[in-house]
């Protein structure tokens, strides 16, 4: 069986869908569903079990002989979460426990890292997973730091040749958009936030630039479709000799103004954009540019081209956001 933590979440539910489409019939999801519509992210899936996070380790111990791979996608992913102790318990301590469990039981282990580990980008966006390279990065929030802390621990364990899973990989996701992100509230992609205003013929709102090198709306991100993220993860899963830390992006940064124009264009409308000040509490920790270096994954053998912004956002808008059933 394959266990996916955070499996009712955005990226993980798309991964679960892709695994099921490939014929996997022993999928186990670990997540809290809450009292909203998050369950709909799994509404079309066949599952062998759905377990709460507090029962995960007991479940793994009970089914140790049956678990072939663990995708650890669950995390507190809010970049504005103020309870750093909670973030560390969820994003670092649990991840380390699962690493150790997989190492002890010979289970393949894949986990979600984040582009937030790169901080302001002054050290670049090279997914060099060596201890020395990772030590140079300075995340800007507790979420990014918690992911970075685990990346660094893994790098040190591997360097010391201490027990490791038979295959492992960490994925540094950049700005992901796509179906099943609707439960994320203010953490939804900018595509999903712009869409209802564009559909209503209203102007969308983007942050004004507070940096002399960037025009309003000219802030740059590596926007990547969730289907491309899943394809990259499954490539690594299928390549049992591939281990390491990998960027998951397109390798091409685009502006927020471009993104807004594509959303409006997919609806046959002219873009309408209003600019508002970036909140003071975010301004000093704001990234003005992210762009994944993708050479490492390409060198490992992944050769599928990423969807362009026009292709990916256009498909998302027309096939999901504008559909009566927006769930994958």
Q: Quick one: DSSP state of residue 184?
A: G
Q: Which of 111, 118, 143, 182 is catalytic?
A: 143
Q: Which residues 6+ apart lie within 8 Å of 101 measured at CB? A: 57, 60, 107
177 is catalytic: no
Neighbouring C-beta atoms of residue 36, cutoff 10 Å:
10
Q: Are 209 and 216 in contact (CB under 8 A)?
A: yes
Q: Which residues 6+ apart lie within 8 Å of 92 measured at CB? A: 146, 149, 150, 153
C-alpha–C-alpha distance, residues 21 and 45, integer Å = 10
Neighbouring C-beta atoms of residue 307, cutoff 10 Å:
19
C-alpha–C-alpha distance, residues 85 and 316, integer Å = 36
143 is catalytic: yes
Round to the nearest angstrom and report the end-to-end CA distance of the chain. Answer: 22
C-alpha–C-alpha distance, residues 180 and 16, integer Å = 12
Q: Residue for token digits 């050290």?
A: 123
By CB neighbour count within 10 A (0-12 exposed, 13-18 middle, 19+ buried), where does 296 fall? middle
Neighbouring C-beta atoms of residue 25, cutoff 10 Å:
10
C-alpha–C-alpha distance, residues 15 and 328, integer Å = 10
Neighbouring C-beta atoms of residue 24, cutoff 10 Å:
16
Closest CA to 259 of 167, 195, 172: 195
Q: Which residues 6+ apart lie within 8 Å of 149 measured at CB? A: 88, 92
Residues that are catalytic: 143, 184
């Amino acid at each position: 069986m394959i266990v996916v933590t955070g499996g009712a979440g955005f990226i993980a539910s798309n991964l679960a869908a892709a695994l099921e489409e490939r014929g996997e019939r022993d999928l186990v999801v670990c997540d809290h569903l809450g009292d909203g519509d998050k369950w709909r992210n799994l509404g079309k899936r066949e599952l062998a079990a759905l377990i709460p996070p507090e029962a995960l380790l007991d479940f793994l111990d009970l089914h140790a002989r049956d678990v072939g791979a663990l995708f650890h996608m669950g995390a507190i992913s809010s970049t504005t979460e103020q309870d750093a102790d909670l973030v560390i318990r969820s994003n670092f301590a649990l991840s380390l426990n699962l690493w150790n469990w997989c190492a002890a039981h010979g289970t393949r282990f894949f986990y979600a890292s984040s582009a937030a580990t790169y901080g302001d980008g002054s050290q670049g966006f090279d997914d060099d997973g060596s201890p020395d390279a990772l030590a140079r990065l300075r995340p800007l929030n507790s979420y990014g730091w918690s992911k970075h802390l685990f990346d660094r621990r893994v790098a040190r364990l591997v360097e010391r040749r201490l027990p490791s899973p038979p295959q492992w990989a960490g994925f540094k996701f950049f700005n992901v958009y796509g179906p099943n992100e609707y439960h994320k509230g203010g953490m939804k992609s900018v595509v999903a936030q712009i869409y209802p205003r564009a559909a209503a013929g209203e102007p969308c709102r983007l942050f004004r630039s507070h940096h002399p090198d960037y025009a309003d709306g000219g802030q740059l991100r590596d926007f990547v479709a969730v289907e491309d993220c899943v394809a990259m993860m499954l490539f690594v899963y299928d390549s049992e000799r591939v281990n390491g830390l990998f960027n998951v992006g397109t390798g091409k940064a685009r502006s927020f103004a471009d993104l807004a124009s594509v959303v409006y264009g997919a609806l046959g409308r002219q873009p309408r954009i209003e600019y508002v000040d970036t909140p003071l509490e975010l301004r000093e920790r704001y990234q003005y540019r992210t762009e994944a270096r993708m050479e490492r994954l390409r060198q490992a053998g992944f050769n599928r081209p990423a969807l362009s912004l026009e292709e990916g956002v256009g498909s998302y808008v027309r096939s999901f956001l504008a559909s009566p059933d927006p769930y994958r």
